[in-house]
Chains A and B, each alone.
Chain A
């Protein structure tokens, strides 16, 4: 095993995928020579040449649209949208094109493309560097949506996403790029090298899409979450002493319903937790499914803890971000419900 940050793990996944399959091409804004504003593609252009890893004009629709065309040709484009907040110009290409090529062409044309985008808040990013738009992708038939919470998963899931025959939206919580973050913003942040999940297998491996991980086993309740919130949930468990089971979904679509339902049927209580705004967020889908599948096992209503239904603010960052205190408060309420 080797020490890697999430950035290093993502860079390494690109490197291995490009080495393994010469049809893998990587491009986006500042992705080529400079190696990406977050360094996730550092050194790739130098190693594989400018026709395999290159800079793109500032046009998200152009980047994704060109990627769709390349995928239809037979390449495996891995494209980057610099921030998930800036994916909206590409949304038509993602929803109307990438997601539907296979379906509308009767399988003649396919789109084996990965669209990577840094997501999530907790970094003083304000309105346009903090959003979590995953529900805008999970609502779209034909897309797979992935969001890792640690370096080992980030690498294995990205390698799976690149090998996958379907278009994959790969959301990277930028708050977790350099180290885990449990929501205690007033404490020093630990780097990945001091965390067991900073140990990454240096070789090629895949973590299958559609398989959740149980981040922590417990009996009292189930917390279903993903991304940065996995670490927040763990901190809240420690702070409250409530023996919760924490499930890191890793893939939102396809959803690992078996792992989620088995856990809730065991614990009888469930919190769904995400940074994204509450209303029509992915938590609503999770809550509805848990309610339908686990109705006779539930001892309390399914609780949703999420970002407020406001644009992501700047100065009010920590009143917005669902930190361990808010999660812990909800856990206590749920135990008493």
Chain B
């Protein structure tokens, strides 16, 4: 006989399920401005605290406060607001287009607009993002044509990817946006390799890596942190913690054990945790981390604390696994509303001007959509040629692919 009890398996569960009252009491939200900003060459050990708090600039009244404020001019913040609004309106239009059968699939960014839009503004031309499928703000903030994004979503003749890729899997070398893969986390280590290449060549470019909370469980996350740390690679490792991986809450990736930022410390990587719904805070953290990388001081990990306010994709219904009103209870609010309030406080914006801007951007997005739809949508008969299906498998088409292409009739 043994005197130890029978073992039991721990299967983490979120605090709330459909029908429950949303509860984010487990998230400790520090006051805006309360977190210090260390010098960029601070040793990782001396700044462990920054991985266990949340860097916030915008307070509840919409004022920018503390050490991390003032990384942007008023014009830049206004531009940021416009980028975020554009992304949200773009998402709206594409969600509807999917419902209308103009494409097969879409993924929106609702609530996460600040993360990618703000980060992109800390990058230089020539730097390379290795994004996931939920950072289209990186493209919008670098002035990638919306019409071309739509052509990709519609898989039409003007799709630069020739209809080969699922919607939203954009690619633009010129805009520092690495080709998106459906396989999660793979790009995380690739970004490290890209930045190592930049270091090997004595270049000045840096890379940024993107991953969601759920995908930190993939092996590539671990490999990326080891390689980034070992070779002091000029890379910024972003974790976008939006609390949800499809139906799985972030506790299943063991976000509940500690913060995701804290994982950087095990590898000797300085780590920040930032309010992902605070455009100013995301930009300030991005600026800090990119400066570290540019000064050859090595990698930084940034956990962006945010909330996936929409469904995972057009194929997902979140009301099946979480309370319907959960996004309204999210303590970090809405990124667009917060910047709007900030600009109004400064006398640079107003509700009327906001409504007007919304209408203008909507008109502009609709114009782009009309042009893209005129070229074709998924089922309108203006798909790329089947001939394109055989191109780019290799640099030169080998004989067996030429034979197969002929068999299709091209």
Contacts and interface: CB of A to CB of B under 8 A. Distances in A.
A336 interface: no
A104 interface: yes
Given A109-B178, A109-B179, A110-B395, A104 B193 contact: no
A62 B227 CA distance: 7
A69 B200 contact: no
B190 A65 contact: yes
A146 to B, nearest CB: 14
B327 interface: no
Nearest to A258: B399
Given A65-B220, A105-B161, A73 B395 contact: no
A73 B226 contact: no
Contacts of A101: 179
B395 A254 contact: no
Q: Name, among B182, B193, B399, the residue most crowded by chain A CB atoms within 10 Å (CB to CB).
A: B193
Interface string B217-231: 001101110110010
A72 to B, nearest CB: 6
Interface in A56-107: 56-57, 59, 61-62, 65-70, 72-75, 77, 89, 92-93, 96-97, 100-107
B116 interface: no
B395 A70 contact: no
Contacts of B195: 69
A331 interface: no
Given A66-B196, A73-B194, A61 B223 contact: yes
Contacts of B186: 65, 92-93, 96-97
Interface in B102-143: 128, 130
A65 B393 contact: no
Interface string A28-69: 000000000000000000000001100011010110011111
B165 A59 contact: no
Interface stretch (B166-174, B290-298, B312-320): B166-174
Contacts of B173: 105, 108-109
A68 B193 contact: yes
Contacts of B400: 254-255, 257
A77 to B, nearest CB: 8
A128 interface: no
B154 to A, nearest CB: 15
Contacts of A52: 200
Contact of B392 (A25, A103, A164): A103
B398 interface: yes
A210 interface: yes
B197 interface: yes
A75 B196 CA distance: 10
Interface size class of B (residues with CB under 8 A): 35 or more
B395 A66 contact: no
B296 to A, nearest CB: 13
B34 interface: no
B160 interface: yes
B207 interface: yes
A65 B207 CA distance: 14
A164 B220 CA distance: 27
B198 interface: yes
Nearest to B194: A69
Interface in B370-401: 391-395, 398-400
Interface in B173-205: 173, 178-179, 181-183, 186, 189-201
Given A52-B200, A57-B226, A104 B394 contact: no
Contacts of B189: 61-62, 65-66, 69, 93
A301 interface: no
B227 A73 contact: no
A203 interface: no
B219 A97 contact: no
A62 B161 contact: no
A73 B169 CA distance: 19
A219 interface: no
Contacts of A70: 193-194, 196-197, 200
A62 B171 contact: no
Interface string B149-164: 0000000000011101
Given A65-B193, A66-B193, A69-B192, A102 B226 contact: no
Contacts of A311: none
A92 B220 CA distance: 10
B69 to A, nearest CB: 34
Contacts of B197: 25, 69-70, 73-75
B219 A89 contact: yes
Given A69-B191, A164-B395, 11 more contacts: A25-B197, A66-B196, A68-B190, A69-B130, A69-B189, A69-B195, A93-B220, A106-B162, A107-B392, A166-B395, A257-B399
14 contacts: A61-B219, A62-B223, A65-B186, A69-B193, A70-B196, A72-B193, A77-B193, A96-B183, A103-B392, A106-B161, A108-B179, A109-B173, A165-B395, A257-B399
Interface of B: 128, 130, 160-162, 164-165, 169, 171-173, 178-179, 181-183, 186, 189-201, 207, 219-220, 222-224, 226-227, 230, 391-395, 398-400
Q: 3 nearest interchain CB pairs?
A: A69-B193, A66-B193, A65-B189
